[in-house]
Amino acid sequence: MSDRIDHRLDTKLVLPFGERITVPTVLSYRTDDPFAVHLIFHAGTHHTIAWAFDRDLLSRGLRRPCGPGDVYIWPTGMGSDAELHLVLSSPQGAARLVAPLPVLAQWLERTYALVPAGQETDGWDVDAELSLLLHGAA
Q: Enumerate domains of the chain plus CATH numbers.
A: 4-135 (2.30.31.20)
Q: Work out the mean pLDDT of the chain and round it to a whole number.
A: 88
Do residues 39 and 25 make contact, with C-beta atoms less than 8 angstroms apart?
Answer: yes
Please determine, for residue 44, whether its predicted confidence score (pLDDT) is greater than 90: no
Maximum alpha-carbon separation in the chain:
53
The stretch 9-31 carries a mean pLDDT of 93
Report CA 79 to chain centroid distance, whole Å.
21
Which one-letter amino acid corresponds to residue 25? T
The stretch 18-47 carries a mean pLDDT of 89
Dist CA 61 CA 122 (whole Å): 25
Do residues 56 and 44 make contact, with C-beta atoms less than 8 angstroms apart?
Answer: no
Do residues 32 and 2 make contact, with C-beta atoms less than 8 angstroms apart?
Answer: yes
Per-residue model confidence (pLDDT) at position 120 = 63
Per-residue model confidence (pLDDT) at position 21 = 94
